[in-house]
Structure 1
Amino acid sequence: MDGSTHHINGVDSSAIYHGQYKKAAVATDNVNCSAIARDILKRGGSAVDAAIAAMLCVGIQNCHSAGIGGGTVMTVYDAKTGDSIFFNSLSKSSSKAYYGVYGTDEETFYRVSQGATAVAIPGCISSFWTAHQRYGRLKWKELFSPAIRMAAEGIRIEKALAEAIQKQEQNIETLPSFREHFMHPNGILKREGDTLRMPKLAETLRKISKQGRATFYRGEVADMILDDIKGHPDGDSVLTAADFENFRTESSTLLEFDLNGLTFLVPTSPCGGPITCSILKILKGFNLGPDCIKDHHSKLRTYHRILEAFKAAYLQRVGLGDPDYNEEIHEFVKRLISDEFNEEQRKRISNEKAGSSLQFGVDLTPYFPPDDAGTSHISILDEFGNAVSMTSTINYYFGSKIIGRRSGIIFNNGMKNFSIPSKNMNQSDVPEKATFPIAVPSNLMGPNKRPLSSMCPIIVLDKTQPSRSRVQMVIGASGGVRIPTAISWVLINHLWLNMSVEKAIMTPRIHARVGKQLELQVEEDVDEKIVEGLLETMKHVLSSKPYGKPGTVVQIVSKIRCNGIAAASDPRKHGKTNGY
């Protein structure tokens, strides 16, 4: 946690991925998309305009992670009024989404993982339109121009997409639409530096740019999408025209909590805000500071406490889900983020050894929640003090593994984020080889429901300042279930351990995974002596499932302890900031 390493998770971090700016800053996971957002701001566009244009760009440049075939969540701060709002446009299940539609438990797991049956209603375009109607300055059509041009004329495949293509080689070889996009005619996988063209997607984006939200949910594009997800050998999607027509982006207030004299704005369930809040409130009582990592003993104890806080918070995911579907979740969240509850959890942490789930008040025997994955995040602060923290996802790499034969859209596999029911809720009867999660009642599949997500777009304010100067930080991450712990690591490093944003992001991370047991996933380049101490002295358990690459990817813009604005794009995904 001293931030001195030059490698993170096996990635060379020597490239310049951070910057200092005077007026406005952008952090995305692609250099081209950060530049597009900067250009939008300089042309007089709003922070929301810049975020939309940048995320449309990401949907081309990093099409394995995000795109208009997925869902989006967005936290917005309006400097003119001092108000904030959350736009929830997570992909949603069909009105016909019942488990009986999918077959047995294991059949359900595999049918919601890949193919047409895995696709949930995409929410991206709805969220973009809703936010733009309220905060946009430039014309809707202008925001699409860069992405349309890239999809039509072709892009240079950058490192992040090239790595994803390599990882998905087997799927690409067996799926005709993927071979067409990601392989050369001679059967060789495309690599970094090769050209990717997506002409059908370019035409779809052009239609949306001219016709707006309506064409995606009840017009020509909607018809194309419904045709794209029918007639598949693994089964047709249960999505209907009515599902698309009835889809809405939900606008709501955010959870607020105070820390270090700052006010954190985070989304509530089904997003990762309550978990992130709980982690930070538990750790607040330990009074962490630079002295906590001054020597090996102090550093080991600090790591141990942080990881125990991760466990204590993550165990509470078993009570989270879509509150519109279960009103009891509102009360569960109130308790989860309360000072009293988190002080109780802090007192349950032993300084000597790792705790069990029962120690933190949760019995993991009946069930354990699903992992989620993928995503892309954008953090923006404009020169007028407006801010956007936006996270978007198609869920897993290349989502459902369907590229629309008419629309060219890569569709999500959002149905995978629901929990799977089990005939026998006793986990001891689940075969060791089973990889599907046992039912978490609050996150069971149902009609017109949003699944549990870890996405957590955050804006941090200093409410003692005038509204135009209040935003102190914009932060969020991609990386599935590990998003709250990745964000927490960076916040701990930056706020409590006084690291610069680049050092806070560079520091290798450990995730406390809640699966069949509590176990650690460790990035490469974490101090070996610390890992040894955690396993041998503190009795933590190392997961057989590696942290993986790129792992978690954090994007941060901060005014804390800097002259102007500091921004950092996580080098794990080879991003780069921009601004002026």
Structure 2
Amino acid sequence: MKSKILLNLSLFALLISSLGTSLHAQTYGKNGMVVSDHHLSSEVGVSILKKGGNAIDAAVATALSLAVTHPEAGNIGGGGFIVFMKADGDVTTFDFREKAPLAASPTMFLDENGEIRDNSNHKGLLSVGVPGTVAGLYQAHQKYGKLPWGELVQPAIDQAKNGFPMSFGLYRAALQVSKRDSSYDILQNFFRGPDGEVVAPGELWKQPALAQTLEAIRDQGRDGFYKGAVAEEIERYMKANGGIITQEDLAKYEAVERKPVKTTFKDFEIFSMPPPSSGGVALIEIMNLMEEADISKIEFNSTAYVHLVAEAMRRAFADRAEFLGDPDFNPEMPIDHLISKDFAKSRFENLDLTQASKSDSSKFGQLYGGDHTTHFSVIDKDGNAISLTYTLENSYGAGMGSDKLGFIFNNEMGDFNPVPGITTSTGQIGSDPNLVAPEKRMLSSMTPTIVAKDHKPYLVIGSPGGRTIINTVFQTVLNVLAYDMRIDRAIEAMKIHHQWLPDRILYERNLLSPDTRDALEAMGHTLIPTTNIGVLMGITYDARLRAYVGAADSASEDGAAKGY
């Protein structure tokens, strides 16, 4: 009885340590920093840095840990992007975005009337893209990592096998998803313990099937997921439940190292993700427009500020829908033109500073995007920096997966344009660059970004949020570079979102004054309140203190910055 009481007290202490504002306070570190959506995963990353691992090593360990601790978005069943700034100032990126299966086609989601069938591009196994996370992490590690691969996977295995204390935030989500209908098969028992009940706050939540899958990845590297027993079970599960991903799809999947897109703002260099992410191109286009407008002369949160920012967003999202897609299928995309200063000048010429523009649904508009992605930022003692965003698309992705494997599949196929040639005012897009095709990567909004000063990392930032990601990251970068905000305040400051179509401004409730809203409506804007936009994880460098400064968005209940 005494040992049981001590165990319960220990678990209670762990639970209490995961609560409160201390997790979200600005944190300092002289030798490195990890900021993620779960404090235990941030601790895993820092432990790797302390062992002599570099930022790549810490990122691999953090990402795999988040697949255990933050299953709504942390994953091995989805995909994402890495922006990596090396200590010498060189920058590269890794694209491990999911791909359409070999059996996919442009009309795969349509019925005999040419309409989307039963929301099939978002729900069910047809919505699953070939996962890329394991391939991307493994490729980045093989080229730039220092510590042995197995040493980086082991912490996630330990967390899955031994369990970790259920937090109140995760418990709230567990209660909700456990009640979904039976089509979300893996979620029915995902959070339940041996007694059949959802694991309560403070109790250990164990994931033995996921631990076994991670052990295969530890022992066999990339092939532990894309070949062998795991791949065989993925194909079996797909065939049994209406999916089309095969062992051939898995074996053929490869991550791609790509050059970043970049621009300058004042005396800073901005590096971000190129297509198939639309994030970097759109971010740079908006930042160039801000420079053209001389944003530093416009008061933050004023009517003029919100109007200008919304109009810049509108234009970037229109260009995004018209031009961007998988570069391997769209080699003629005008990327250099879209991110050029000259293009920003021409775009700024038709921006009325007194009146809202109108979005034309007969032309171009926003792409669908789920809002449950996760981002983390890492920097090591040598100045290597990682900005990594990865996702399942919707919260808990497709909500489907094999109980034998223990992970949830993405529903990323919904990021393709579902109906060729049809663009509507409600936001459905039908432009060619992002139509479904076998082995094509769907366009993304993820915007992992690194800002450099004097060729050294100055700001490492990113966010989840689906189509809002671009604008959330942009505004945070702007807050730091143009308004000289410290990182925690830049993250928590009011955010808006405009995405061309639907033609409206989303704004965070209670953070925009009624007078400003009235003034914007008089200019022709439609405003819609929302609870929260983005969940940012950021790091800056304080030259005076010679220290890294990290902050996790307070919207993340379990998130934390950990430095050393």
Compute the TM-score of the two structures, normalised by the length of structure 2.
0.90
Whether contact under 8 Å (2:80, 2:95) holds in the other structure is yes
1: distance between equivalents of 2:435 and 2:145? 36
Does residue 162 of the first structure (1) align with residue 168 of the second (2)? no
Does residue 227 of the first structure (1) align with residue 229 of the second (2)? no
Deviations 1:403-452 (A, max 9, x none): 21221121111111101115x73748xxxxxx772412211111110001
Whether contact under 8 Å (2:422, 2:430) holds in the other structure is yes
Task: For residue 238 of structure 1, report the CA deviation from its aligned partner.
Answer: 1.5
2: distance between equivalents of 1:84 and 1:230? 41
Q: Specify whether residues 95 and 16 from structure 1 end up closer, same or farther in structure 2 by C-alpha distance, changes over 3 A only.
A: closer
2: distance between equivalents of 1:436 and 1:287? 31
Two-structure CA RMSD over aligned residues (Å):
2.4
Does residue 487 of the first structure (1) align with residue 473 of the second (2)? yes
Stretches of structure 2 that go unaligned for 5 or more consecutive residues are: 1-18
2: distance between equivalents of 1:205 and 1:511? 38
Q: For 1:396, what is the secondary structure of its paired residue?
A: coil
Amino acid corresponding to residue 367 of structure 2 in structure 1: P
Does residue 445 of the first structure (1) align with residue 445 of the second (2)? no
1: distance between equivalents of 2:140 and 2:402? 26
2:540 pairs, out of 537, 558, 563, with 558
| Worse-matched range after superposition: 26-35 or 273-282 | 26-35
Deviations 1:14-57 (A, max 9, x none): 86332122221111111111111111100101111101111111
Task: For residue 348 of structure 1, report the CA deviation from its aligned partner.
Answer: 1.9
Kindly report which structure 2 residues correspond to 1:196-207, keeping only aligned pairs within 5 A, or say none.
196-207=205-216
Whether contact under 8 Å (1:304, 1:534) holds in the other structure is no
| Worse-matched range after superposition: 520-529 or 11-20 | 11-20
Q: Specify whether residues 187 and 526 from structure 1 end up closer, same or farther in structure 2 by C-alpha distance, changes over 3 A only.
A: farther
Moved segments of 4+, more than 6 Å: 11-14, 184-188
2: distance between equivalents of 1:299 and 1:92? 42
Kindly report which structure 2 residues correspond to 1:91-130, keeping only aligned pairs within 5 A, or say none.
91-104=98-111, 105-108=114-117, 110-130=119-139
Structure 2 equivalent of residue 58 of structure 1: 66
2: distance between equivalents of 1:270 and 1:124? 15
2: distance between equivalents of 1:455 and 1:302? 24
Deviations 1:336-364 (A, max 9, x none): 1111111122232222121113xxxxx42
Deviations 1:430-480 (A, max 9, x none): xxxxx7724122111111100010111112222x45xxxx12121111111
2: distance between equivalents of 1:174 and 1:195? 27
Structure 2 equivalent of residue 75 of structure 1: 83
Structure 2 equivalent of residue 267 of structure 1: 273
Q: Specify whether residues 244 and 558 from structure 1 end up closer, same or farther in structure 2 by C-alpha distance, changes over 3 A only.
A: same
Structure 1 equivalent of residue 488 of structure 2: 502
2: distance between equivalents of 1:150 and 1:223? 25
| Worse-matched range after superposition: 446-455 or 554-563 | 554-563
Q: Specify whether residues 560 and 336 from structure 1 end up closer, same or farther in structure 2 by C-alpha distance, changes over 3 A only.
A: farther
Q: Specify whether residues 172 and 196 from structure 1 end up closer, same or farther in structure 2 by C-alpha distance, changes over 3 A only.
A: farther
2: distance between equivalents of 1:12 and 1:156? 16
Stretches of structure 1 that go unaligned for 5 or more consecutive residues are: 1-10, 358-362, 429-434
2:253 pairs, out of 211, 229, 247, with 247
Whether contact under 8 Å (2:400, 2:408) holds in the other structure is yes
2: distance between equivalents of 1:222 and 1:169? 26
Equivalences, count: 539
Whether contact under 8 Å (2:368, 2:414) holds in the other structure is no
Structure 2 equivalent of residue 328 of structure 1: 332
Amino acid corresponding to residue 551 of structure 2 in structure 1: A
* Identity value in percent: 28
Task: For residue 548 of structure 1, report the CA deviation from its aligned partner.
Answer: 4.8
Task: For residue 277 of structure 1, report the CA deviation from its aligned partner.
Answer: 0.4
1:288 pairs, out of 284, 292, 295, with 295
Deviations 1:241-298 (A, max 9, x none): 2111111111111112111211111111221100000111101122223x6327xxx8
Whether contact under 8 Å (2:73, 2:396) holds in the other structure is yes
Structure 2 equivalent of residue 478 of structure 1: 464
Structure 2 equivalent of residue 135 of structure 1: 144
1: distance between equivalents of 2:304 and 2:151? 52
Task: For residue 377 of structure 1, report the CA deviation from its aligned partner.
Answer: 0.8
Structure 1 equivalent of residue 551 of structure 2: 568
Compute the TM-score of the two structures, normalised by the length of structure 1.
0.87
Q: For 1:251, what is the secondary structure of its paired residue?
A: strand
Structure 2 equivalent of residue 578 of structure 1: 562
Task: For residue 321 of structure 1, report the CA deviation from its aligned partner.
Answer: 0.6
Task: For residue 484 of structure 1, report the CA deviation from its aligned partner.
Answer: 1.0
| Worse-matched range after superposition: 149-158 or 500-509 | 149-158
1: distance between equivalents of 2:339 and 2:487? 26
Does residue 343 of the first structure (1) align with residue 348 of the second (2)? no
2: distance between equivalents of 1:426 and 1:372? 16
Whether contact under 8 Å (1:228, 1:407) holds in the other structure is no
Task: For residue 161 of structure 1, report the CA deviation from its aligned partner.
Answer: 2.8
Amino acid corresponding to residue 331 of structure 2 in structure 1: E
Whether contact under 8 Å (2:23, 2:560) holds in the other structure is no
Task: For residue 141 of structure 1, report the CA deviation from its aligned partner.
Answer: 0.8
| Worse-matched range after superposition: 264-273 or 449-458 | 264-273
